[in-house]
Structure 1
Amino acid sequence: MDLWQLETFLAVVEERGFSRAATRLHRTQPAVSQTIRKLEEELGEQLFERTSREGTLTSAGELLRSYAERLLRLRAEAQIAIEELQSLERGRLVIAANEYTCLYLLPVLDEFRRVCPQIGVTVQRSLASRIPEHLLERSVEFGIITFRPDRAQFQATAVYSDGAAFVMSPEHPLARLSEVPIRELGAENFVAHNVASPLRQRIIEVFAVHQTPLNIGVELPSLEAVKRYVGLGNGVALVPTLTVEPELRRGELIHVPIPEIAITRTLWLVQRRGVRISHAGAAFLRVVERIAAERGNPFLYRIEQD
């Protein structure tokens, strides 16, 4: 039993006869009769009373009619839904990010929602190390990470270039300096994010190379907590610049450069290789590319070649 058979069946019912149904369907009457006969053979039931010229239904025909109408309505709804997806009138975009990389997404999503207000967006918080796994599971369409994943499985696009900011409250003694050498930081009390990250490891290595103690007195569970705690006048911190831009603009935190720490990190927009992206995903990529073109550095749009 297929949808064409059901469409022919309903045409006979609605037109109250095989001849009028054939005219409506632009087919011959024998072809319509053959379709109905084949449908009856497949079901093992007679659908029309043979003594009636107006296509009177048997009890089996009445039962099939309700199911046929529902199935054809579902087909129409499916066609409309696909058309809406293609025209970006519906859909949902799911992206994986962590506390830090999510901040890159905020201005991008702001513009994306202006362009595609009907598309729902879910940003799924995840450890950066787990994001490639989520992509392989297809639970998300894109991920934002700070490391280049396996080229064989993932396509990566560089979308943002970020640095490391040495920050403190405006009242801190170091806040008045134009820069501070790393060797003068051995007595400082550092506040750190207690989640292992490539940035934290690189900072530890730089301090070790310059034979300077890195005294981490307080570790907190989020970058938001770190910058708020430091803003209250408690120690200093080295955090991604992206995470403290609002506080630096408002003067709530002060950034003093450390010449020996010139760390640049690239944020990558990652997708599973060989998988066709959704219409919503394609629209999102167009927004990412346009923002990079309009705003320039630190926004990027550089697709890594194989």
Structure 2
Amino acid sequence: MSTAYLSRLTLRQVRIFLAVCQQESYSRAAEELALTQPAVSAQVRNLEELIGEPLFDYVGKRLSLTPAGRAMRRAGQDLMRRLVRVEMELAELRGVMQGTLTLAVESSAQYFMPERLAAFCRRHPEVEVQMRVLNHGEALKSLREDRYDLTIMGQVPDDRRLRFVPFRQNDLVAVAVPGHPLQDMEAVPLTRFLEFPLLSREPGSGTRLVFEELCQSRGLRPGRRQQLGSQEAIKAGVIAGLGLAVLPRDACREELAAGRLVTLDVDGLPLKRSWCVVHPRARHLTPVADAFLKALTTV
């Protein structure tokens, strides 16, 4: 069969289809696009009729892509990126850096990335920024699906398909409320630290994963654990006396400076890591993304 029928595709159909792919839901895609759910469903049906293949299946209550859907998502993402790149190149011909920069950042990076973005946008006021805050597991998924121009993360998987550049130190520190019994102790054994309740994020958290790897290397397991939903909740919990925590220093600089939290001298901590900017090697960066990467990694 000739592929000429694909020329009847519309950009509107592609945008709606990609929104459903990203949201994994017709209703959430409709909300994102300010459309009704029937309108979104109708556009996807029209696209399926044009292609002659279903694009989505339901596995239980979860929406998933069919093989044809995965092929269309790759093609749709490539098409939208090419259009964005052309738009930016045309702006460059006019001597203007213009376009949209899409970023995924792990949750702890949200404490310093706005300052970096503000500096970049002051130099390039025509650039629009879209930043999404994710946990480590979600960031990995977004990399696999090539959703964003760049991803900021603290622990990069061993994957040759990814390019990463370190640009900032990321220290993980043990914190407690002032006056805690461990505050004035030197070289607190990790076993002693783990005797206290530990406040942590969900299993997909990069900080939790790194600290658990340290414990496993010592043949230890965290004992009493309270799982809280965000860095802010963990800091508030530590200040309230619920327990101890291991947090990126970037996430608690303000509380440490104000004396609401203190660091503990725990054996094996701080864990020294680096913040990295990451993207798939196969992705051709837009002029805006390339300029931001250079700004981020140039001292």
Matched, 1:187 2:219: no
The CA deviation at 1:185 is 2.5
After TM superposition, list the pairs within 5 Å mapping 1:288-299 onto structure 2.
Answer: 288-290=296-298, 293=299
Segments of structure 2 that go 5 or more residues without pairing to the other structure are 1-85
Matched, 1:108 2:116: yes
After TM superposition, list the pairs within 5 Å mapping 1:117-156 onto structure 2.
Answer: 117-135=125-143, 137-149=145-157, 151-156=159-164
Distance 1:218 1:133, change over 3 A: closer
Greater C-alpha Rg: 1
Matched, 1:277 2:267: no
**Partners of 2:214 and 2:87 in 1: CA distance:** 58
CA contact (8 A) 1:128 1:145 kept: yes
**Partners of 2:270 and 2:215 in 1: CA distance:** 13
Tell me the amino acid that sits aligned with residue 129 of structure 2. V
Distance 1:258 1:288, change over 3 A: same
**Partners of 1:200 and 1:162 in 2: CA distance:** 14
**Partners of 1:135 and 1:154 in 2: CA distance:** 9
**Partners of 1:156 and 1:209 in 2: CA distance:** 26
The CA deviation at 1:289 is 2.5
Partner of 1:244: 252
**Partners of 1:81 and 1:184 in 2: CA distance:** 56
Matched, 1:266 2:274: yes
Q: How big is the alpha-carbon RMSD for the aligned residues of Structure 1 and Structure 2? A: 2.9
Distance 1:131 1:212, change over 3 A: closer
CA contact (8 A) 2:105 2:153 kept: yes
Partner of 2:6: none
Q: Could you tell me which of 64, 72, 84 is aligned with 2:91? A: 84
The CA deviation at 1:235 is 1.7
**Partners of 2:92 and 2:244 in 1: CA distance:** 49
**Partners of 1:108 and 1:212 in 2: CA distance:** 38
Partner of 2:235: 227
The CA deviation at 1:147 is 3.0
Give CA-to-partner distance per residue, 1:262-300, whole Å, 9 cap, x none: 42222221122133311211221232133xx2xxxxxxx
Distance 1:84 1:243, change over 3 A: same
Distance 1:262 1:250, change over 3 A: closer
Give CA-to-partner distance per residue, 1:5-60, whole Å, 9 cap, x none: xxxxxxxxxxxxxxxxxxxxxxxxxxxxxxxxxxxxxxxxxxxxxxxxxxxxxxxx
Distance 1:132 1:85, change over 3 A: farther
Range with bigger deviation, 210-219 or 169-178: 210-219
Tell me the amino acid that sits aligned with residue 106 of structure 1. P
CA contact (8 A) 1:154 1:270 kept: yes
Aligned residue pairs, count: 214
Distance 1:138 1:235, change over 3 A: closer
**Partners of 2:88 and 2:295 in 1: CA distance:** 23
Distance 1:213 1:251, change over 3 A: same
Tell me the amino acid that sits aligned with residue 236 of structure 1. L
Give CA-to-partner distance per residue, 1:205-252, whole Å, 9 cap, x none: 544555666333421011111011111222211112221122111211
Normalised TM-score (structure 1)? 0.61
Tell me the amino acid that sits aligned with residue 237 of structure 2. Y
**Partners of 2:143 and 2:210 in 1: CA distance:** 27
CA contact (8 A) 1:111 1:287 kept: no
Tell me the amino acid that sits aligned with residue 280 of structure 1. V
**Partners of 2:214 and 2:143 in 1: CA distance:** 33
Matched, 1:167 2:148: no
The CA deviation at 1:89 is 4.4
CA contact (8 A) 2:89 2:287 kept: no
CA contact (8 A) 1:97 1:125 kept: yes
Tell me the amino acid that sits aligned with residue 91 of structure 2. E
Partner of 1:253: 261
The CA deviation at 1:169 is 1.1
Distance 1:81 1:255, change over 3 A: closer
**Partners of 2:134 and 2:209 in 1: CA distance:** 20
**Partners of 1:180 and 1:244 in 2: CA distance:** 21
CA contact (8 A) 2:165 2:297 kept: no
Tell me the amino acid that sits aligned with residue 84 of structure 1. A
**Partners of 2:87 and 2:154 in 1: CA distance:** 39
Normalised TM-score (structure 2)? 0.62
